[in-house]
Amino acid sequence: MVSSSHPLASLSGINILQSGGNVVDAAVATSATLCVVQNNLCGLGGDLFALLRLNGEIHGLNGSGRAGEEATIDFYSEKGLSEIPKRGPLAAITVPGIVDAWGELVERFGTFELGDLLKQATRYALEGFPLTPKYVRSIASSKPLLETFTEWTNLFLVNGEVPPAGFVFKQESLGRTLQMISEKGVDTFYRGELSKKIVRGIREQGGILTEEDFARHKSSWDQPLKTNYRGVEIYETAPNSQGATVLLWLNMLEEYELSKFEFRSVDLLDIFLKTCGLAYQERALAIGDPVFHELPAEFTAKSYARDVLGKRMIRQYKGRPQQDGDTTYFAVADSHGNCASVIQSNYMGFGSGLTPRGTGFVLQNRGCYFTLDRSHHNALQPNKRTFHTLCASVGTKDENTLFALGSMGGDVQPQVHVQLITKLIDFKMDVQLAINHPRWVALGTIYEEQQRLSVEDELKSLIPQLESKGYKVSALESLSSITGHAQAIVYNEYGAMMGGADPRGDGMAIGF
């Protein structure tokens, strides 16, 4: 089974599984197709994190990029900038990690050649695919921000205008880039002909990444973090991913008997929100690149969670708010319990907007999450990974795989994880019902206190009661993208796989 945020991507993974590939092969094929059909959300210029459960063992891949050698606080200060721009060449300051992540996955666990896994993605790039209404809205919303970038305009606008839904969208330069990776391997992207082309395209537009930055890049295999929540082992991606937030939060929630509450009750939501605030407070202080700022060893311990529950909310936030990110998540699983839980992103829609000429992809703006405040643990430094909103989850019970799940949503991703995990475990919901169920989000980054609680339309009747408890609440439309696009695969008690895909996005779960 494959559950992704686009039907063509799910089909790409299924085709590999039907051809005898394993879940890792299928994950790479799915990932590559998403880089074509949703390259507003992800792409060759972005990052990837993956959790794998293979033959009973859990593996974590960190495919996030590091800041370049020229990306320093002094560099921005000398330009009179107090913050890193969100768009443009000075936003594209971290090396994209997704292509190297493909290479690591294929080399360590794959059974197919990388070129075979990229064939479907290459075909969709060269021959085209029909644009969905959501993709068209993404182009339209990005146009005012990015239309000054000639390469972006040439790629994503048609005669200077936003193409209509259903338009067969071809990306020939992206197709040629994928063909080069297929023929020459991942190394060409970081240390070969393609890397020279990418860096030349960056530098000629005023960017600061270098060939040496690309040549130094390497993904890392990191030990996933875990906790036990009501008898289920919950695994999350390790820092610089924010996944540890989920585990601390679940440990706090285990102190409450959630199932005694009606799921849409204000009392239950109040518990979620208070523990959310505490978990996010710890997130803001503790999570970053572990090479520069190590996560406390006890962060996922039950005793740590109980200590946090006894704290008052403190305000140590400094810096500036960030815009929520655009991302895409997918899961792949087989009948033996092997699974891949994968998330990839450009950060904001179309990332930095900087497109190296002739490559067909935009570079992420993930580096703008760094701060220029030297005293902050997420301060910009060369060769440093920023605090990363991407996180993916796997659950096991009695040594069997129970689920793989995740969601886009920037800083609110842990909130979607926790809402889905508690719906599945505490309230025994069907996976698709759990995904469809109305959600709430408390918006806020590691630089700001969470003040903006938003609820989807079906929960707006709770607003007066929430306001009486001191929350500032706003209503969202039903199935709002602000609350994330989640996908999941769950194994039921009989060993069958049940897939769910979010109606907030364009997703589809497909099995055979």
- Identity of the residue numbered 263: F
For the question of residue 359 being annotated catalytic, the response is no
Give tens-digit pLDDT for 85-126.
Answer: 999 999 999 999 999 999 999 999 999 999 999 999 999 999
β-sheet bridge partners, residue 232: 229
pLDDT of residue 48: 98
What confidence tier does 263 reach under pLDDT thresholds 50, 70, 90? confident
Question: Cβ of 321: how many Cβ atoms within 10 Å?
Answer: 13
pTM equals 0.96
What confidence tier does 325 reach under pLDDT thresholds 50, 70, 90? low
Q: What is the three-class DSSP state of 151?
A: helix
What confidence tier does 313 reach under pLDDT thresholds 50, 70, 90? low
pLDDT of residue 378: 98
pLDDT of residue 87: 96
pLDDT at 312 over 80: no
pLDDT at 464 over 50: yes
Domain boundaries, the chain: 2-220+329-369, 222-323+389-510
- Which comes out higher in pLDDT, residue 176 or 312? 176
pLDDT at 326 over 90: no
Average pLDDT of the chain? 95
Under DSSP, the state recorded for 408 is -
pLDDT of residue 456: 97
Residue 53 to residues 11, 59, 243: CA-CA distances in angstroms?
Answer: 21, 6, 17
Task: Note every long-range contact of 424-431, with CB atoms under 8 Å and residues 24 or more positions apart, other chains counting.
Answer: 424/395, 424/490, 425/229, 425/230, 425/232, 425/395, 426/230, 426/258, 426/259, 427/258, 427/259, 427/263, 430/498, 430/500, 431/403, 431/488, 431/489, 431/490, 431/498, 431/499, 431/500
Give tens-digit pLDDT for 32-42.
Answer: 999 999 999 99
The one catalytic residue among 30, 237, 327, 386: 327
| Residue 455 to residue 443: CA distance in whole angstroms | 11
Least confident of 322-326, 380-384, 387-391, 405-409: 322-326
Q: What is the mean pLDDT of residues 339-347?
A: 97
> E strands along 257-353, which residues?
326-333, 339-347
Q: What is the mean pLDDT of residues 327-335?
A: 97
pLDDT of residue 264: 87
pLDDT at 408 over 80: yes
Residue 161 to residues 24, 153, 156, 331: CA-CA distances in angstroms?
Answer: 39, 9, 9, 34
What confidence tier does 314 reach under pLDDT thresholds 50, 70, 90? low
Give tens-digit pLDDT for 190-209.
Answer: 999 999 999 999 999 999 99
Give tens-digit pLDDT for 490-511.
Answer: 999 998 999 999 999 999 999 9
What confidence tier does 427 reach under pLDDT thresholds 50, 70, 90? very high
In terms of CATH architecture, what is 222-323+389-510? 4-Layer Sandwich (3.60)
Q: What is the mean pLDDT of residues 249-263?
A: 96
What confidence tier does 444 reach under pLDDT thresholds 50, 70, 90? confident
- Of 293, 437, 380, give the one whose Cα is nearest residue 67: 380
Q: What is the mean pLDDT of residues 8-18?
A: 98
pLDDT at 56 over 60: yes
Give tens-digit pLDDT for 139-163.
Answer: 999 999 999 999 999 999 999 999 9
pLDDT at 419 over 90: yes
pLDDT at 66 over 60: yes
pLDDT at 461 over 50: yes
| Residue 237 to residue 222: CA distance in whole angstroms | 8
**How many CA atoms within 13 Å lie on the side-chain side of 9?**
30
pLDDT at 303 over 50: yes
pLDDT at 451 over 90: no
Give percent of the chain above pLDDT 90: 94
Cα three-residue angle 255-399-276, rounded to 5 degrees? 30
pLDDT of residue 450: 62
